[in-house]
Structure 1
């Protein structure tokens, strides 16, 4: 899913292969949390100077000054979080996160969200297996608690099998960059996540066309667009044109309320073979 769709109680995995992609996700995650009146803690890579982190979050100017001064936004490290413990243990980290979540509520915020760059594992010389155990047994931090966490893995620094296991261990998996369109084709369904706009229009069209071809015999296709955070008017019209050209094909489109509204404005209600279903997270 796109990072913008994270909500309180989500435990998310994201991987990045270049530093710009990592900055995009953490910046969006941070600003969304501040707008929702949540406390935000950024545990950046130990290899990155703290001033660089602040600059990347606040480009092009000092807009985060007030949040920083009142303590709503904190840039820290895993080493500082578990202090004075000299070594990482899941129990110590869980304890400190629970304490910070409680503190955020006491300070009047709606909850706590953390962005954790996993370079801390090498910095603390932590055992990979112990870290993986923590990641796959942390459900209690999120159950009925206003806590949200992104675990960000630099794919250049972790083995492929570790990345695969951690991808599967997290309930939420994020797109690695803003502006992407992620497509998955399964029997009878096309899943679309991210943004369908001018930059991804051809990819969007191709995905819908392929879905229609795959379901030519059944003549029933589900377009799951509930994970789209943006659907352009052009893509909406493109979808209606494809539906009109496949009038013997029943198409069910699952959309966020905004997507349903855009499709209706484009004329979807005049398409007898297109059924719109509103979906909310």
Structure 2
């Protein structure tokens, strides 16, 4: 099930998660699910956070670690000093055998405080929701937890991904759980998602994920379509703030199309500082109708 195609700020690549984020991701393939896990873990370790991984029950810890480490062994030292821990929901709620949302959240709150006391920048947890069936928990209890977890995140250095296997949960549950999370992640690393907000008077085009060489054709096509749709209004806003990566080739395509947008009075590009610098260096300041707006990262 793809993430919602809306122009709001909920959909982001995993690389843009920050402390305080509670994110939903779904997968339907046993290989795909490891992409988000590996990126989430490695970024957390690089940022000096403690990382907790709760894989789907039945998946051995050795397999989890092998997937995260491939093709190197970059997490060995983190595991030795307990910066990276592979555990289970049974361990989280222990010594109690019965799951309750309050019990689980209290434990995660304590673990966040302990990580900070140990000198880490915070705690991040990847939780595969396969534990729900394994512990015999009803959907109601899971829903209550997901919709009442605000205190875990508000003003606290805790980040969480809840991963849902689309083969285990029906569509209605997945839709409800996606809506219950403030953040939704792109399923695949290296993917690009163009999203247009139908309620935006500027017909804003949001480009989310990675605008690299492999995605240049899709990036260019999305811009061309957006320019066609916004021709009557004579203005277009392109939001790049949720791009993790912008290649030189894609940046050149953007500037070329903006220069040729004769039917428009204004093309505004909102982007992060590093992408703003790239567009300026490629001549963005010489395109008459182009307005480059630098938007600082919120972290």
Shorter chain as normaliser: what TM range? over 0.9
What SS does the aligned partner of 1:276 have? strand
Structure 1 residues 1-281: aligned runs within 5 Å: 1-187=12-198, 188-249=203-264, 250-279=266-295, 280-281=297-298
* Deviation of 1:169 (Å): 0.9
* Deviation of 1:56 (Å): 0.6
Query: How many pairs does the alignment contain?
Result: 281
What SS does the aligned partner of 1:151 have? strand
Unaligned runs of 5+ in 2: 1-11
RMSD: 1.0
Retained in 1: the 8 A contact 2:27–2:166? yes
Which whole-Å deviations, capped at 9, do the CAs of 1:175-229 have from their partners, x for residues lacking one? 0010000111224111110011111111111111111111111011110110001
Q: Distance in 2 between matches of 1:244 and 1:102?
A: 52
What SS does the aligned partner of 1:86 have? coil
TM-score of the pair, normalised by structure 2 = 0.92
Runs of 4+ in 1 over 2 A off after TM superposition: 60-63
Retained in 2: the 8 A contact 1:248–1:273? no
Q: Distance in 2 between matches of 1:252 and 1:30?
A: 35
* Deviation of 1:248 (Å): 4.1
Q: Distance in 2 between matches of 1:271 and 1:60?
A: 44
* Deviation of 1:156 (Å): 1.1
Unaligned runs of 5+ in 1: none
Which whole-Å deviations, capped at 9, do the CAs of 1:207-265 have from their partners, x for residues lacking one? 11111111111011110110001111111111111111113411111111111111111
Q: Distance in 1 between matches of 2:245 and 2:84?
A: 27
